[in-house]
Structures are given as structure tokens and as C-alpha cells.
Amino acid sequence: MDPNKKKKLITGLIIGASALTLGILAIIFVPKFFKVNYSETYRQAKALEPKISEIYHNDACDDVADYVLSSYTDNSEYEAYINKCNTIFSGVSGEIDSLGATQGITKNSDLKRLYDQFKSAYASAASNTENLSEKLSYYKAYHQFSLAVDEIYSSSTDAEINSAANYLIESGSEELKAYGEGWRDHALALVRAYRTYDNVSYSDPNYDAYHDDYYAKRSEHSEWVAENRPDIESLYPIEISDTSDMHDKFEKLYDGIVDVYEENYDYASGDCTELLGEVICD
């Protein structure tokens, strides 16, 4: 064979073999390169699901607000409401962000749309939970104050009144502190007027004056409380709203993730149940 023809033939065979090899490699690896990994999206959504459900069903934060002035709710019971309310959103925001960073969300436009809708609904539901721990500490102080006030009478000592007021004065809230100080001053004026009146003899020429002063102080105290008692729910709102919308949008997102993962299942993961050739992930 002509050496030039032989060289061209060998070169053509090498190029053809190389092209065939590259084609085979492309068939094997290119789909894997572009394949979306839905397994991590599914696992994170599955871990988040019970926490979203707990937020939806939980009414502990409502209980904190509803029973803050209740003298029938003891400190241990109220503390349980506070602890449950305080932990309900713990870490959830970070888990939602982590879910949004997975391939199943970032590379699937339908899931990304459902995710954005859910995240917006969650933000609305959690809008009053900023600085939640701090707010709950004010509710705890106000509840302790309410229980202490329920035990305050005209015959109470200065120490008992100061002790009750200190729950608010030392709460860290300027609004509650101001009310605590005002309540203390009016309560001390009341009990001191009562002591004077209670200890004076009927024959004392100042008896009527002491009597009138005590009842005047009692009226002043009642009127001051009625006019100045803080509305803690307005000052420090903790109400969780729109939980049904948040829950509904998460369920749509979760169902969408499940459907897509069943179609693109990672059989090596063991995430779901394989039954008669079908993959069941829910």
C-alpha cells in the first residue's frame, strides 16, 4: 500500500476510534452531569415537615398571651407555655434556607416557585417572632407580677409590695419598669394610709381625716391602674398568624418534591419504598 494512503488510513481509524470513545463516554457521563440530585431536597423537606406541622398545630404562644394576667395559671404551667413557644421556631428558618439551596429547588423552576410561595407564607406567620426570647421574658415577668399582685392587700408590708413591683422594674422592659415603679408608689401610699387609718382611735380628732385619706388613696390607686396598665400584647406582640396558609403551601411544596423524586429516584439511597417496580416516597 502506498505509505501516504496507509498513514491516512491509520490516522482516520485513530480519529474514528477516538470519536467513538468520546461519544460513548458522553452517553455515559453527560446525563449524570446534568441530572438533578433530588435526594437531598427530599430528605431535608421530610425532616422539615414535622416542624412545620408543629407550628401549624401549636397554640403555646397564644396561651402565653391569653394567660399572662391569669391568677389561676401557676408559674410552672406558664413556664411550660413559654418554653414551648420559645422553641417552636428554633432553627426552622435556617432549615428552610438550607432546603432552598438544594439542587431540587435551584434547578427545578416548578419547585422553586412552590418554595418561594411557602417561604413567603412562613415569613408572614413568623412576623411577630423577632426577638421572641426577649419578648417572652417580659411576659414571664408580667405574669409573675400579676400573681404577686393577687396576694397584695391593704395590710401588706412594704417589702411585699416592693417584691411584687420588682418583677416589672427588673424585667428589662422600660415600659414595664415605668409601670412597676408607678404601681409601687401608689400601692405604698395606699397601704401606709391604711395603716394610719387602721391604727387610729375612734376618739382621735383626726380619725375622719385619716379615713378619708385612705379611701382617697384607694380610689387613686384603682384609677391609676386602670389608666396606666400596659397592654403587653400590643407592646410585644407574639401572635403567630397565617399558619394555615403556611402549612398549605408547605404541603404543596412537599408533595411536589415527593412526585419529582419518585420519578428521579436514587435507588442507592434507600430513602423510599420500592414495591413491584414502583417507588413510594410518602
Question: 140: closest CA among 119, 164, 168?
Answer: 168
pLDDT at res. 25: 46
* Local mean pLDDT, 10-residue blocks, the chain (282 residues): 61 60 46 70 95 88 93 94 89 93 95 96 85 94 96 91 97 97 96 92 89 94 95 90 90 96 90 84 82
Residue located via cell numbers 416548578: 110
How far apart CA 204 and CA 233 sit, in angstroms, is 49
Q: Give the integer Cα–Cα distance in Å for 39 and 42.
A: 5
Q: Domains of the chain: which residue ranges? A: 1-34, 38-129+238-282, 130-236
What pLDDT, on a 0 to 100 scale, did the predictor assign at position 4?
62
| pLDDT for the residue numbered 29 | 44
Q: Decide: 146 and 179 in contact? Cβ < 8 Å.
A: no
pTM over 0.75: no
CA dist 222 and 33 (Å) reads: 75
- Spatial distance between the Cα atoms of 218 and 47, rounded to a whole number of angstroms: 58
